[in-house]
Structure 1
Amino acid sequence: MKSVQYRGEAVARMGDEVAEYGRFAGRVALVTGAGSGIGAAVARGLATQGAGAVVAADIDGPAAESVAKGMAGGHAVPLDVADAGQVDRAVEEVVRAHGRLDVVVHAAGVDDPTVKQWLADAVVAGRPPEVTTRLGVEAWRRVLRINLDGTFHVLRAALRAMRPNRSGAVVTFGSSAAFDALTGYPHYAASKAGVQALSQSVAKEAIAFGVRVNTVAPGPTETAMAANTPEVLRKGFADPRVRPYATPEEIADIALFLASDEAANLVGAVLLANGGRFTA
């Protein structure tokens, strides 16, 4: 067995394969939205695949703590990604505690249960949905503030932490809704289209400093959001010709690939993971 250097740390290797250490051996990772769903699956995957430290961040602090307790090297922090100051402080604390930050997976986000119910009511009544004229400014701002502003806050803080080391990988989460622009869901579609454009613009800038930024765009996935979707809408996504709702682990695997060295040549990519519902 011989050792090679990875960012100043010896990583044991046997032949061409990392032994039991995994593809994230010794790396320091931060995952937002890690209290449940895809974020929790990503955090567990990082820990299982050898990350030296995984910080599980979520607005639901106890949920993040529960996830972190089940992981080797797991830590938890309560975090509202819409608050730029909280994001900056969380990232700065990771760097103080561990000396660096290697991987960030930004899985935090929201939808709008009220509008989903409006859409379901329209389907049941057999009439076109009427959302835009009824959508309040605060409902609009809530979705944009968390999904789009939150992504900017996380990207900015991650780049500030990673640039000095000239290395790192950031994965953001868009949505299939950025491509097919769901009828009656303007704020969500706009927020996720913004995430995609923001991430691609930042990716072109960040790669000059050795930092890769890529995006996963999931389709229907069995998360807490999906569980709160009215059944009539869930049935609308069911199609025997395509794969069923993805599991959080299936989507997490895509994010983990993008965060790994296996995706070294992917910069500004948007991986559409919707089970074949449409291509783009």
Structure 2
Amino acid sequence: MSGDARPGRFEGRIAMVTGAGSGMGAAVAGQLAADGVRAVVLADVNREAVAAVAERLPAGRAVALDVADAAEVDGAVEDVLREYGRLDILVHAAGVDDPQVKQWIADALVAGRPPGVTDRLTDAAWRRMMRVNLDGTFHVLRAGVRAMRPAGAGVIVVIGSSSAFDTPAGYPHYAASKAGVHALSQAVAKEAIASGIRVNVVAPGPTRTGMAARTPEALRAGFADPRVRGYATPEEIADIALFLASDAAANLVGAVLLANGGRFTA
């Protein structure tokens, strides 16, 4: 539990977290449990990983879920409604990166040349990124709004990325997917608030997750700037996500909170 968790803040509420098998999603699920939710459904494409996280949480229940599959997302949310009668909080943390392209960028950095990624980027790599990051976000937002609209209340928090703003050279498909995530979430936020549903986004910078662990050392070293904060912990990003999910953020709708440790402002 983080230092900012307040037991009882979400007392009795029903929550669901995608990408909960590791990193920021797991941290969000843990803090929701510590903050008094009645139940938190942890969803992840990695069945074993998410089951292990859920076992540590008294209010946790694990489900295997590929957010790129619309039917799976709809079914998982419908299962929550059947079991608990409502869905109050939905945090969407699922997403993918591209380790191969990261290696290309790192190799170019070490060699002192431009990354030269775009002309080598395959259709399959582009579609994978869009299918999981952007299509997956649409599937989750749509299912969440469908679940929450009849109740006239609910909160959805989406994990985006600061890469949507600084658009790293050589990483066009990731930057584009996350920029789409932000715009999609903001458009849905403007619509859904009329039904009492708040949608907001956290846009992390470098964070100590499994994705970061797969980042080549040459790129990780580039983030070690003494003028800014180091890598965030998943718990620090979870704190921001749960602030947005809390009643304290009641007037925040369609916000994109940049959480990059001071690397740049937008």
What is residue 199 of structure 1 aligned with on the other side?
Answer: 185
* Other-structure match for 2:250: 264
- Out of 29, 52, 62, the residue aligned to residue 48 of structure 2 is 62
After superposition, residues 139-218 of structure 1 pair within 5 angstroms as: 139-218=125-204
Deviations 1:52-100 (A, max 9, x none): 0000000001111111111121100000000000000000000000000
Backbone CA RMSD of aligned residues: 0.7
Q: Corresponding residue for 1:274?
A: 260
Report the equivalent of 2:17.
Answer: 31
What TM-score, normalized by structure 1, do the two folds share? 0.92
* Superposition deviation, residue 247 in structure 1: 0.2
Shift of 1:21: 5.3
The answer for unaligned runs of 5 or more in structure 1 is: 1-19
User: What SS does structure 1 have at the residue aligned with 2:228?
Assistant: coil
Q: Which residue does the alignment assign to 2:75?
A: 89
Query: What does 1:106-121 align with in structure 2 at a 5 Å threshold?
Result: 106-121=92-107
Q: 2:237: which partner in 1? A: 251
Kindly name which structure, 1 or 2, has the bigger radius of gyration based on alpha carbons.
Answer: 1
The residue that corresponds to 1:129 in the other structure is: 115
Length-normalised TM-score, structure 2: 0.97
- The aligned length equals 261
Deviation at 1:271, TM superposition (A): 0.2
Q: 1:41 to 1:121 in 2, by over 3 A?
A: same
After TM superposition, the runs of 4+ consecutive aligned structure 1 residues lying more than 6 A away are: none
**Following the alignment from structure 1 to structure 2, what is the Cα–Cα distance between the partners of residues 248 and 58?**
16
The answer as to 2:228 corresponding to 1:228 is no
SS of aligned partner of 1:97: helix
Give me the whole-angstrom Cα distance separating, in 2, the residues matched to 1:241 and 1:99. 49
CA drift of 1:147 comes to 0.3
Q: Matches of 1:72 and 1:270 in 2, distance apart?
A: 31
Matched residue of 1:29: which SS? strand
Correspondence for 1:52 among 38, 50, 54: 38
Q: Deviations over 1:144-190 (max 9, x none)?
A: 11000000000000000000000000000111100011100000000
Per-residue CA deviation, residues 110-139 of structure 1 (Å, 9 max, x unaligned), is 000000000011011111110000000000
Q: Distance in 2 between matches of 1:245 and 1:189?
A: 19
Q: Percent identity?
A: 72
- Structure with larger RCO (C-alpha < 8 A, sep 6+): 2
Give me the whole-angstrom Cα distance separating, in 2, the residues matched to 1:148 and 1:68: 26
Secondary structure in 2 aligned to 1:30? strand
Quick one: which amino acid aligns to residue 115 of structure 1?
V
1:229 is displaced (CA, Å) by: 0.3
Give distance in 2, aligned partners of 1:162 and 1:21.
24
> Secondary structure in 2 aligned to 1:213?
strand
Return the offset for 1:104: 0.2
Structure 2 distance, partners of 1:106, 1:232, is 30
